[in-house]
């Protein structure tokens, strides 16, 4: 029996633009999803996954593993964890954890790059769209500068990121939002491409601000990023309410995190302002989440 866990993620900057080749900055969060795998009799795979109702990602991971390693036979897979609902990326976490666990079950030596490629293949086979940034976060963990064009992950040596996270209570449909933006780009290619390039530049500056721990500057860059996301039409009134509340309560900057349409917003704040900002988010109808960034990537638990 093998047990492996992988973290969820939060996008700090660069959502949507990363789908079009621009970089993004993503941090792994301390909410993890675990997968236990063992061999079972027969050829069928038995999946017991109360957290990840959509078992297509587990099925796809099994399919990719069997193809890559020429293995066969039944597997019993059970998932445990606390990733459900907030948009922290349970699909990528479960895919990465399953492939890592299967590699160990079959005694295959798989490096991080290969694990990323196999997992990304599995995720794409189910979703059809996606930049792979969430898979990179689950594999490498920490905080990563991920390039959408080359699919490279550069781990960033950052300490604590002073992040406050607010959940809108609305579940976003990432695939639909990515398609929406795609349709907008088809209709207004110049406008949308200009936005994507603008976001890419902000992300590059954001990386420098993050590395030098210049939170005030990073906050400002996040605000600018949010303006572009608003222009793309992926923000919502609820997200805007939580973002404004966080800003009014003294955040250096705030923006939506992920595809938009709901899920979470993030704010950067001095430690003595965190409580006030969390309260302001609650008063604006959101849920302040206790989430720590910069978490460890995929790891063996058993
Ligand atoms: C969704 O969390 C982030 C997007 O950029 C999609 C992706 O990169 O796969 C909208």
- Active site (annotated) includes residue 180: no
| Residue with the two structure tokens 């206790």 | 290
220: pLDDT strictly greater than 70: yes
Q: Which of 25, 91, 183, 258 to mutate to test the pocket of ligand 1 (most atoms within 8 A of CB)?
A: 258
Predicted pLDDT at 84: 66
- Per-residue pLDDT band at 298 (split at 50, 70, 90): very high
Q: Which of 174, 260, 262 to mutate to test the pocket of ligand 1 (most atoms within 8 A of CB)?
A: 174
Query: Stretch 233-247: mean pLDDT, rounded?
Result: 98
Distance 262 CA to ligand 1 centre (A): 13
Determine the angle formed by the axes of helices 56-69 and 112-127, rounding to 10 degrees. Answer: 130
Distance 148 CA to ligand 1 centre (A): 10
Mean pLDDT, all residues of the chain: 96
- Per-residue pLDDT band at 44 (split at 50, 70, 90): confident
- From 110, 116, 105, 107, select the one nearest 140 (Cα to Cα): 116
Q: How far apart are CA 281 and CA 274, in angstroms?
A: 11
Alpha carbon nearest to ligand 1 atom 2, residue: 258
Six token digits for residue 287: 């849920």
- Per-residue pLDDT band at 43 (split at 50, 70, 90): confident
This model's pTM is above 0.95: yes
82: pLDDT strictly greater than 80: no
Query: Stretch 173-189: mean pLDDT, rounded?
Result: 97
Distance 257 CA to ligand 1 centre (A): 9
Ligand 1 atom closest to the CA of 133, numbered from 1: 8
Residues with CB under 6 Å of ligand 1 are: 11, 15-16, 18-19, 130-131, 133, 174, 178, 258-259
- 263-275 residue pLDDT tens: 999 999 999 999 9
Predicted pLDDT at 52: 74
Predicted pLDDT at 190: 98
Predicted pLDDT at 302: 83
**Vertex 111, ends 144 and 122: CA angle to 5°?**
75
- Per-residue pLDDT band at 72 (split at 50, 70, 90): confident
Ligand 1 atom closest to the CA of 181, numbered from 1: 10
């Amino acid at each position: 029996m093998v047990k492996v866990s992988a973290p969820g993620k939060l996008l700090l900057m660069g959502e949507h633009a990363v789908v079009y080749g621009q970089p993004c900055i993503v941090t792994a969060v301390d909410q993890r999803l675990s997968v236990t795998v063992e061999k079972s009799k027969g050829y069928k795979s038995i999946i017991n996954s109360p957290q990840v109702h959509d078992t297509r990602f587990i099925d796809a991971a099994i399919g990719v593993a069997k193809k890559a390693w020429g293995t066969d036979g039944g597997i019993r897979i059970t998932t445990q964890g606390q990733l459900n609902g907030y948009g922290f990326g349970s699909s990528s976490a479960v895919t990465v954890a399953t492939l890592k666990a299967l590699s160990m079950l079959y005694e295959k030596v798989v490096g991080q790059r290969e694990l990323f490629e196999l997992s990304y293949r599995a995720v794409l086979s189910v979703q059809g769209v996606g930049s792979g940034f969430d898979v990179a976060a689950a594999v490498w963990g920490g905080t990563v500068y991920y390039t959408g064009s080359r699919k490279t992950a550069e781990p960033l040596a950052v300490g604590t990121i002073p992040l406050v996270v607010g959940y809108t209570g609305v579940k976003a449909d990432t695939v639909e939002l990515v398609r929406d933006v795609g349709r907008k780009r088809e209709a207004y290619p110049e406008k949308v491409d200009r936005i994507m390039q603008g976001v890419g530049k902000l992300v590059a500056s954001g990386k420098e601000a993050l590395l030098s721990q210049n939170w005030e500057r990073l906050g400002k860059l996040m605000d600018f990023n949010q303006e572009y996301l608003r222009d793309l039409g992926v923000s919502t009134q609820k997200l805007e309410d939580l973002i404004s509340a966080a800003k009014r309560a003294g955040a250096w900057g705030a923006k939506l995190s992920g595809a938009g349409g709901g899920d979470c917003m993030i704010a950067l704040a001095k430690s003595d302002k965190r409580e006030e900002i969390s309260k302001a988010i609650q008063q604006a109808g959101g849920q302040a989440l206790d989430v720590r960034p910069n978490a460890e990537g995929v790891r063996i638990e058993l």
